[in-house]
Amino acid sequence: MTSNRFFLHVSASIALALAASAASAANIAAGKEKASTICAGCHGADGVTSVDPSYPKLAGQYPDYLARALTEYKSGSRKNPIMAGMAAALTKEDIANISAYYASLPSPLTFKKR
Amino acid sequence: MLNSLSFNTGGDMLNAFKQFGFRQSVAVAITAVGVACSAPGFAQGAAKAAAKGAGAAAPAEIVGNAQAGAKKNSACIGCHGIPEYRTAFPVTYRVPKIAGQSEKYLESALKAYRSGERPHPSMKGIATTLTDQDIADLSAFYAAKN
């Protein structure tokens, strides 16, 4: 009985830990779903082929930079009427997921040697 | 309006020739030519004035030169030339990859940093040292592959 209770306790802890890590880690699949409805219309389904040359390529960009950009659009510290509207609808979790999704895509972005 | 003017002038000349004979019609023709010449002249002047007004809002288009940009990027490479480089202020995150980015986007980003519309202390400091031509050159340089 004691060992059973101990086992229950351990497995409950593991389940909680897994749930917590799943919540904090970005979910690329969820990001893809959001991105396809919100972002792809302008930035392209591939995150490269945007509808306007003045829109940035997102594919392969660092997720923390993308998340920061979206957070700044949402707060209004970075001003853009279109992006403000898009970011306003996103939760912190959405931002993490979308950023992780775009970061995971094949990218034309590189580094200059000098 | 210009077309109808020259049409009328032509009609007048024809009528004048019919009514007054050759000598008078030559005089009318000279007047008509004067009017015809001055009308486009006036139109040109008006077009120039309009262009001048528009020019104040949108100066002659600046074309970026990637090779010139390659010589102007000393302020960029310290952060953007280092993979995984992180900014220290105000919140730590990796500075964006900019090589291969859209030229128009890079240009608008640098101009927004320069004007302060896009807030970032170090990017503002760097962008304020750049002319429109510098920005165009750097954008062309970073947008180009390799």
Of all residues in chain A, the one with the smallest CA distance to B142 is A112
Of all residues in chain A, the one with the smallest CA distance to B104 is A54
ipTM given for this complex: 0.78
- pLDDT tens, B114-130? 999 999 999 999 999 99
Contact B69, B138 (CB under 8 A): yes
CATH number at residue B129: 1.10.760.10
Statement to judge: residues B139 and B72 lie in one domain: yes
Q: What is the pTM of this model?
A: 0.68
Statement to judge: residues B70 and B138 lie in one domain: yes
Q: Is B64 helix (H, G, I), strand (E, B) or coil?
A: coil
Q: Which residue's entry shows tokens 């917590």? A: A20
Report yes or no: A24 at the B interface, CB cutoff 8 Å: no
CATH no. for A28-103: 1.10.760.10
Contact A82, A94 (CB under 8 A): no
Instruction: Please tell me the predicted confidence (pLDDT) of residue A66.
Output: 97
Which residues in chain B have Cβ-Cβ distances shorter than 8 Å to A112? 73, 77, 80-81, 99, 141-142, 146
- pLDDT tens, A45-102? 999 999 999 999 999 999 999 999 999 999 999 999 999 999 999 999 999 999 999 9
- pLDDT tens, A81-94? 999 999 999 999 99
Amino acid at B69: G
Statement to judge: residues B50 and B104 lie in one domain: no
Percent of chain B at pLDDT > 70 equals 57
Contact A68, B95 (CB under 8 A): no
Helices B132-143 and B103-115: crossing angle in degrees, nearest 10, is: 140
Least Cα distance to A91 among A105, A70, A77, A62 occurs for: A70
Q: What residues are paired with B99 via a beta bridge?
A: A110
Instruction: Please tell me the predicted confidence (pLDDT) of residue B98.
Output: 97
Mean of pLDDT values over B14-33 = 43
Percent of chain B at pLDDT > 90 equals 52
Statement to judge: residues B37 and B72 lie in one domain: no
Residue B13 has pLDDT above 70, yes or no: no
Out of B11, B41, B60, pick the residue that ends a domain.
B60
Number of Cβ within 10 Å of residue A61's Cβ equals 23
Instruction: Please tell me the predicted confidence (pLDDT) of residue A87.
Output: 97
Amino acid at B119: P
Which residues in chain B have Cβ-Cβ distances shorter than 8 Å to A110? 97, 99-100, 145-146
Residue B47 has pLDDT above 90, yes or no: no
Q: Of all helices (H) and strands (E), which one includes residue A81?
A: helix A81-88
Statement to judge: residues B41 and B94 lie in one domain: no
Asked if A77's CB is within 8 angstroms of B102's CB, the reply is no
Statement to judge: residues B70 and B90 lie in one domain: yes
Range of the domain at B74: 66-143
Statement to judge: residues B93 and B138 lie in one domain: yes
pLDDT band at residue A26 under the 50/70/90 scheme: confident
Across A16-25, A61-70, B82-91, the highest mean pLDDT is recorded for A61-70
Instruction: Please tell me the predicted confidence (pLDDT) of residue A4.
Output: 58
Instruction: Please tell me the predicted confidence (pLDDT) of residue B34.
Output: 40
Report yes or no: A7 at the B interface, CB cutoff 8 Å: no
Instruction: Please tell me the predicted confidence (pLDDT) of residue A103.
Output: 97
Instruction: Please tell me the predicted confidence (pLDDT) of residue A6.
Output: 54
Least Cα distance to A49 among A58, A62, A37 occurs for: A58
